[in-house]
Amino acid sequence: MMGFQQAMCDLVASPDLCMQLAESPEEVLSRYELSDRDRRRLLAVVQQPGMEVNCSLYRANRITPIYNLLPCTCFLLGDSLMKEAVEFWNEFGETRLQFNEEVERFVAFLRRRIALGILSNPLLAEVLAYELAVNEFRFAARLEILAGLESAKAAAAGSTRLKLHPLVRILSFSREPYQLLELLEKQHRPPDDLAPGEFWLLLDGRNEDFETRLIPSEIGRLLAEIGAGAELLLSNEDVEALVDSGLTVRVR
């Protein structure tokens, strides 16, 4: 029975597998532990007109959280969105349809494709990082995080080792981020001459109202190094200033 259920899930998730089953039934069915009755049922199911509808509904359910939570990324992917989504689904198989989990896995998948040079849009990695950070804040247990920091404060008192506040992100952009994100949110293609340069965007989720602001490059680079776990030689005054800003916290 488990073999039949797994085969059904795989078929609903993949129109290509349905075609393979129709063309080469033995090759496909041999992947599962099935009784003769199960084999006959699967062959009958895949020939039903409603199977195409089931596949479409399954894909619609899986693409919805990606599109809703990564809208700018999806717009940048354009016509290649469904191709990348299908590659992702083929690689990761089933999902529990947990929105944040599905999106995080898709982000990791796209980042690997970017690193391999398969996806070459120069803005994609920056926009992807921004939308991932926004979603991390959206699903974060903010009050629990703040309470945990408060309870750990005494143990780290006097330490000169720092890390970014867990509800703060520092992102770098090669184009002016407010202009870029506004264009993408309105589903307009960014022009090639959009304000190039070095821009650092601070994302602050410490309060109920999520905030963003541009910060000077030297501060952005410093905070990015702290966020990456770099061991920096900072004076006590600099450490105090960074802790007082609320953007970093002491660690033991």
pLDDT in tens, 9-67: 676 666 667 767 777 888 888 888 888 887 887 777 677 766 666 666 667 777 888 98
Q: Which pLDDT does position 91 carry in this prediction? A: 82
Residue 26 tokens, joined: 């033995």
pLDDT in tens, 93-125: 665 556 678 888 999 999 999 999 999 998 999
Evaluate if residue 152 carries a pLDDT over 80: yes
Q: What 8-state DSSP symbol labels residue 194? A: S
Q: Which residue has the higher pLDDT, 210 or 96?
A: 210
Spatial contact of 156 and 141, defined as CB atoms under 8 Å apart: no
Q: Which pLDDT does position 52 carry in this prediction? A: 62
**Cα(240)–Cα(178) distance, rounded to whole angstroms?**
31
Extract the runs of DSSP E, i.e. beta strands, from the chain.
162-164, 168-175, 196-204, 211-215, 248-250
Spatial contact of 167 and 137, defined as CB atoms under 8 Å apart: yes
Evaluate if residue 173 carries a pLDDT over 60: yes
Evaluate if residue 221 carries a pLDDT over 60: yes
- Per the listing, tokens 């992100």 go with 169
Tell me the pLDDT band of 198, cut-offs 50, 70 and 90. Answer: very high
Q: Which pLDDT does position 186 carry in this prediction? A: 92
Total-model pTM: 0.78
Evaluate if residue 154 carries a pLDDT over 80: yes
